[in-house]
Each structure stands twice: as structure tokens, then as C-alpha cells.
Structure 1
């Protein structure tokens, strides 16, 4: 009976550990105090080239996904834009240790790669940072999962800008909203 209780407890613990993985990718954002996103209508990229060593097709794909998300929120690409955007990507090897068993004598070691996508927005006229967002997720650097990348970008753009930002442009032929 004691073994069965232990197995149930171990199963419940494993399930609890798996729950945070369902919330992936992890998104965090920060906004400059007093930033007036209602005054921003356009954007432009600062970095046109991918970081050294990055697949240029993947970089363009990410930028296009960001552009489409911003367009859906009513922003237009222009040169120069009201906002200057910088896209950064990177990966870091991480190690996680978990002790379990009697007195924690059993240890499991997990090694994985954490990918991070960062989008920074600057007020073009003042050159001040107004918004920072990042998405992080466990990745396989040898085989990018574009579904995860697109999901991370979509969740990141959903948080941009805080408070709604630019109003979406009305559809052609639609009456203006009052």
C-alpha cells in the first residue's frame, strides 16, 4: 500500500511539473513610464541584417511575422517611423538539477537550450526606449520549430503596445468610428 501511495504522489508531482511547460513560450514586457502609444502610428527597423550566424530566412520570417502583427494593430511600416524597432535573437545552454527520493539522494540532470527573441521599441524622435518585450522557450538549435517561433511572436505582439496603442485602420468602404 505504501508503494502505491508513493507512485500516486510521484505521478502527481510529475504532472505538476509538466503544467508550466503548457504555458510556453514565456513572455515578459516592460514599458517606459509616460510613453504615449496613441501618438505612434508607424514603425521602421533599425537592424536590417540578421545577427552573425543566424539563418537569414528565419530572421526575415520573424520580422515579417512582427510586421504583420503590428499591421493588424493599425501600425504601418514607414521610413522613418514614429517607432524604431530592434529585433534580437539568441540561445543559451542551461542545466537544471532535480533531487528526489529519500533525503534527496537521487538526482536528475536536464540539459536544454533556451531560445530568446527580444523586441525593443524606441521613440524615433527622442531616441528613448519606450517598450521592451521578450519571448523565451526551450528549443532545438539544430531544427527550429517555426510553429513555436510564430506562437512566441504572436504572444509577444499581443502585449504590444500596452493599453491598446494605435487604432486599427477601418476597412475600405467602412464608415469611420465615432
Structure 2
């Protein structure tokens, strides 16, 4: 139980990566008839891994698909899946002080010792990927991804998720073909 809660919290935190520095990409099948799709459903996994998907992501995607005129049903025209990943990273910052530090090896430095200081910044980078498949043909019709560095402040997570989803679904459905 604690492991599942921790996974949900970590996944939600990951989505903050989609904040102001998020990179958003979308791609779609130009042959897909987005204007003919009226409903969708979520693809569930037998392994139970869907429990890690934060409810705010599911609700956010639902809201954007419904705004496009699609309805969530048990067996829709389109199958939707979303995945979240995160990785740890570090940035190394070097600062050099003193005039002689860089030039002493040439013999023209001031002779005063220079100092080098290094600091390490830890960060998390997260990615959200949303895939959609035509239920009839089983072919991929749309993919969107948002990735970036997570904000340090956990209270900004939901706002970052919503902002990333806004950018991800800004041009959805492709070609302006709405099922409304």
C-alpha cells in the first residue's frame, strides 16, 4: 500500500517536469479520420500498473478530450493510454576566482593563488506520453509527449500538470476536425 502511494506521489511530482521549461511534441496519422471519432476509453493493464497514473493526469486528459466533443465510454472509437517516467540528474557548476588561477601555468599570473569551487545541483526530469489508437484498426493515430525538469516546490505540481496538458492538447484534434 505504501509503495503504491509513493509511486503515485512520485509520478505526480514527475509531471511537474512539464512546467515552464517543458518540451511538448505531438504527432498523428494524417490518414486518421479524427472527425469521425466520438468516443474513447482508457486502456487498462492486467499488471495493475495503472494505479501509478496520477488521477490529476487522467482527469486532465479526460477534460481535454471531452472539450473536443469526445465521450468516455466502456468501449470507445479510440483507446487512450498514458505513461509517466522520471530520471534523476545532476548539473555541475564550476566557479574560478583569483587572477592568477588560469595564467600561472604560463608564468604570467599574479602569483596569487586562484580558487576553484564546484557545486552540484540535483534535479529530476520527467516525461508524460499519451498514445491513442483507433479501436477498429488497432493502429496508432496520435501521440503527444511533454518532458522537462521538475519544479522543486511540490505545491506547484498540479498547476504544472495542467499547463503541460494545455500545451499538449492545444491543437487537438489535428486539423481542427472536432467531433462536436
Matches within 5 A, 1:124-163: 124-139=135-150, 143=154, 145-163=157-175
**Residues 53 and 76 of structure 1, relative CA distance in 2, 3 Å threshold:** closer
Does residue 78 (structure 1) correspond to residue 87 (structure 2)? The answer is no
User: Which residue is 2:99 aligned to?
Assistant: none
Partner Cα separation in structure 1 for residue 140 and residue 33 of structure 2: 12
Q: Which stretch has the larger CA shift, 140-149 or 93-102?
A: 93-102
* Contact 2:127–2:147 under 8 Å retained in 1: yes
Does residue 95 (structure 1) correspond to residue 90 (structure 2)? The answer is yes
SS of the residue 2:57 aligns to? helix
SS of the residue 2:167 aligns to? helix
Does residue 34 (structure 1) correspond to residue 31 (structure 2)? The answer is yes
User: Which of structures 1 and 2 has the bigger CA Rg?
Assistant: 2
State the superposition RMSD in angstroms. 3.2
User: Which residue is 1:9 aligned to?
Assistant: none
SS of the residue 1:149 aligns to? helix
Does residue 44 (structure 1) correspond to residue 41 (structure 2)? The answer is yes
Q: How many residues align?
A: 144
**Structure with more relative contact order (C-alpha pairs < 8 Å, separation 6 or more):** 2
Counterpart selection for 1:112 from 109, 123, 126: 123
**Residues 31 and 108 of structure 1, relative CA distance in 2, 3 Å threshold:** farther
SS of the residue 2:49 aligns to? coil
* Contact 1:43–1:77 under 8 Å retained in 2: yes
In the alignment, structure 2 segments of 5+ residues that lack a partner are 1-17, 97-101, 104-115
Partner Cα separation in structure 2 for residue 85 and residue 67 of structure 1: 10
- Post-superposition offset of 1:110: 3.8
SS of the residue 1:62 aligns to? helix
Partner Cα separation in structure 1 for residue 154 and residue 143 of structure 2: 27
Partner Cα separation in structure 2 for residue 50 and residue 143 of structure 1: 26
TM-score, scaled relative to structure 1: 0.66
